[in-house]
Amino acid sequence: GDSVTQMEGPVTLSEEAFLTINCTYTATGYPSLFWYVQYPGEGLQLLLKATKADDKGSNKGFEATYRKETTSFHLEKGSVQVSDSAVYFCALERNQGGKLIFGQGTELSVKP
């Protein structure tokens, strides 16, 4: 069945460091791919998305590119801030408007 695998956390970085959180997926067809973020004490929020191969999603300085050949959607940010500390979830959706399938989440902690 469909699945999403993320790199395990926690990831601890210093402020202004470069961030990569790896995400790979298994799915039939051409899923849409997402990154959701959960800040401490808050609900899940969509961070960015890509709906077809080679699309790049971006938001708040974060980027991820839909790579069909490697079935990956890695999250990157050039310079992290303390306020980026959160849990990040990679997810896929196969049928537009249908269920999301999430990875296990990666906790990011950014130290000043």
Partner 1 sequence: DTGVSQDPRHKITKRGQNVTFRCDPISEHNRLYWYRQTLGQGPEFLTYFQNEAQLEKSRLLSNRFSAERPKGSFSTLEIQRTEQGDSAMYLCASSLALGNSYNEQFFGPGTRLTVL
List residues binding partner 1 (CB under 8 A): 4, 32, 36, 42-46, 49, 51, 89, 91, 96-105
In the bound complex, what is the minimum distance in angstroms from residue 13's beta carbon to partner 1? Answer: 20
Nearer to partner 1, 77 or 106 (CB): 106
Contacts of 110 (CB under 8 A, 6+ apart): 12, 13, 14, 15, 17, 80, 81, 82, 83, 84, 85
Which SS3 state, helix, strand or coil, does residue 84 take?
helix
In the bound complex, what is the minimum distance in angstroms from residue 28's beta carbon to partner 1? Answer: 16
Burial class from Cβ neighbours inside 10 Å (0-12, 13-18, 19+) for residue 75 reads buried
Which SS3 state, helix, strand or coil, does residue 85 take?
coil
Nearer to partner 1, 36 or 62 (CB): 36
In the bound complex, what is the minimum distance in angstroms from residue 67's beta carbon to partner 1? Answer: 19
Nearer to partner 1, 14 or 45 (CB): 45
